[in-house]
Amino acid sequence: MERAHDGSGWQEMAESSSKLTRKQEEAIVALLSQRSTEEAARVTGVGARTLYRWLGEPVFDAAYRKARRAAFGQAAARLQQASSAAATTLLKLMVDPGTPASCRLRAADSILSHGAKAIEIEDLDARLAEVERIAQASKSRN
């Protein structure tokens, strides 16, 4: 099966398990790139029932989940890269008097909500780091 590499890395993740056959590796790539399991089976050249059976096998399922996490991680990284532009857009909408009031209100609400969430995450991260530091110190003493 011919695959175009788009730099996402999930093709390589799908192919990283030596316990899978080549067809199973191709099926994982197809599952990640096709709209349905049936289309993935067709593109791979296996029956849909075969692909559903593979999805029930622990080794195949684990490799598929690993590839899905890698693909999702790539998407999340792209969103993070665009977050600065998104914040700029929200700020511009919020302060532009030509923007309808309902849009300005929604932008302001979004900014406040995301700002509060960021603070909560930072606080939780600091608390977790402290708990880990205490646990490590306790472990070192024993």
Residue 1: the pLDDT is: 42
**What average pLDDT does the structure give for the chain?**
89
Residue 83: the pLDDT is: 92
What is the length of the chain?
142
Q: Which residues of the chain have pLDDT under 50?
A: 1-7, 10, 13-15
Residue 113: the pLDDT is: 95
Kindly report, residue by residue over 99-122, the tens digit of the pLDDT. Answer: 999 999 999 999 999 999 999 999
Q: Are 93 and 107 in contact (CB under 8 A)?
A: yes
Within the chain, residue ranges assigned H as helices are 10-14, 22-33, 37-44, 48-55, 58-95, 101-141
- The predicted model scores a pTM of 0.57
